[in-house]
């Protein structure tokens, strides 16, 4: 199984900039949406961030809607 590489969290998906299926590096970030400082503890949202390994375009989407 030469394709197994657990150290790189890569996934092939469509990139709008490349208009191609390209390899993306995917990670999850917890972002604090600080609309109001006192609400910060209630607005920590996990985001799925994917970065195109071809052009470097980054896209992120909130995961809570799933």
State the residues that interact with Zn ion by CB under 5 A. Answer: 15, 17-18, 52, 54-55, 57
Give the residue with the Cβ less far from Zn ion, 17 or 33.
17
**Residues with Cβ within 8 Å of residue 31, at least 6 apart in sequence:** 44, 45, 46, 47
Beta bridge partners of 50: 26, 59
Give the residue with the Cβ less far from Zn ion, 40 or 55.
55
Give the residue with the Cβ less far from Zn ion, 16 or 33.
16
- The CA-based dihedral angle spanning residues 10, 11, 17, 21, taken in that order and rounded to the nearest 10 degrees: 130
Q: How far is the CB of 8 from Zn ion (least distance, A)?
A: 17
């Amino acid at each position: 199984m030469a394709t197994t590489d657990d150290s790189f969290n890569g996934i092939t998906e469509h990139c709008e900039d490349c208009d191609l299926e390209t390899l993306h590096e995917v990670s999850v970030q917890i972002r604090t949406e600080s609309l109001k400082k006192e609400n910060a503890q209630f607005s920590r949202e996990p985001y799925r961030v994917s970065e195109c390994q071809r052009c470097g375009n980054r896209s992120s989407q909130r995961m809570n809607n799933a």
